[in-house]
Structure 1
Amino acid sequence: MTQLHHPPTARIHIESRECSPQVLERLTGATYFPERLLGPAIVGTVCRGGGHLLYVTAPQMIDADQQVDYYLGLLSGGSHQGGTDGPRGARDLVRIVTLDDASTRWLSTKVLDPVSARAASVRSDMREFVDTHLRAGADVRLSYFEPSRPLELLARDLGVPGTQPSAAHIPLATKHASRKIFTAAGVPVPQGTDVCHDPAALATAVATLARAGHRRIVLKLNSTAYGGGFGNALLELDDDIASAPEERTEERVSRALPHASLVDRKI
């Protein structure tokens, strides 16, 4: 029986959360998001595959050793792939590099900072990691949390593939694009509108929904920079708006729009 040969693995993880920096500023603890995925990275790369892991994060992790020891402790009797002697031997497979930067900039921005000496040092560590493991015949990849053009360019410069679909496809994941895809495929979707580019067009579209009997309407900001509903507003319409003569409905909706309740009141 022929046994398949799997090359050793090596992964660089840059778990950068790439939404609006303005949103990140208002999310408590957002700067610590990158380190939250250390556990899955260790389990997936080291515990299950016996591979090498270079984990990049910022700001500096104050309990990095304890976190690594905890996740490596999930190894049982050295039964994982890779041949190391349990958690103690596997410790050599994990390396964490950090930047002392607690700003709300994307982690990718911190790593690619052209004037930061520390960022340049981290990029050098990444290059050395890639070159070393490619020479050893390993399957080397750059892993990141979500599609990102900067990280795609970094992967290209390192000469390794990324682990996400192309960032060019991000607009397809918006609610509006999804509605268009479902409609084209014949999948029923809730009643809505096309993208509106000015208040007058929005008033016209909402007036149509009002005349169809809708009184509570979600207005969504068509942007890939926001998440968690921060780009939404809830518009409550009175019955008398929809019952007004058609030529007056849009006027009344237009007056109601500024009173929509914003989820993110700082937009």
Structure 2
Amino acid sequence: MAKYHFISGLPRSGSTLLAALLLQNPRFHAGMTSPVGSLFRGMLNQLGAGSEFGTVVSKAQRRRLTRGIFESYYADEAEKEVIFDTNRMWTAHMPVLMDQFPDSKVIACVRNVAWIMDSLERRYRANPYEITRLFNDDAERNTVYSRVETLAQANRLVGYPWTALKEAFYGEHASSLLIVDYDLLAQAPEKVMPLVYQFIDEPVFEHDFNQVSYDAPEFDAQLGLHGMHKVRSSVSHEKRTSILPPDLFDKFTTLSFWNNTNQSSANVITVKTPVVDKEASHE
């Protein structure tokens, strides 16, 4: 039976890159966001308090049904020894993951939030003839200020995974959480990947960091934001200047709570920089 681990964290922070690297290992299955999380949440909604079947489905049955979603979805990967399921919602559901898979680990990819907003704004501007699904109406998409503030809301693309990650980071299962900084992964993948293998208790695999390939154009087309999940063939770090107004950049650069582990038992692989370089990020 395959072992399960989970990839989560913030958008535009390297989860697709990490999955593409892990996929090089023939023992592993990994990919971009799967529907397993949504199926799991939808099933619990149907069986929760106040639902038609809430009173007739026991906790043991819910537990078996939940496990069945994973096993059914990944039935075609039976030859793989380790499966990584990717979804930004997993950090908000650590208790159920630890109950279903007590030995599993959650790897959360992070990045300075200002650079996440910069990256998303670049994708938005690169698709000027698309009405992306990231925004509900013209009021939300009007300017860079309304766009960034919308994405930062607690139930939106950046705000939701940020709050979910913070919950896991300070929660009772934080020791099963590994924080991986995108900039460090891109700058020194040969140093980061062995630490990831150590965390999941698997033998180290020799990855080819110059032959990495991943793209999901159909998925990105549905979002109306092309290039969201395209990974360059070579892992690298390239400097650039932020396109965000300075006040927006400064506001969101203060949100990297994972740099302070004083009150958390989470594991962190990150670059701690006292001064934020507005020309130091990359894609």
Higher RCO (CA-CA < 8 Å; seq separation 6+)? 2
| TM-score of the aligned structures, taking structure 1 as reference length | 0.25
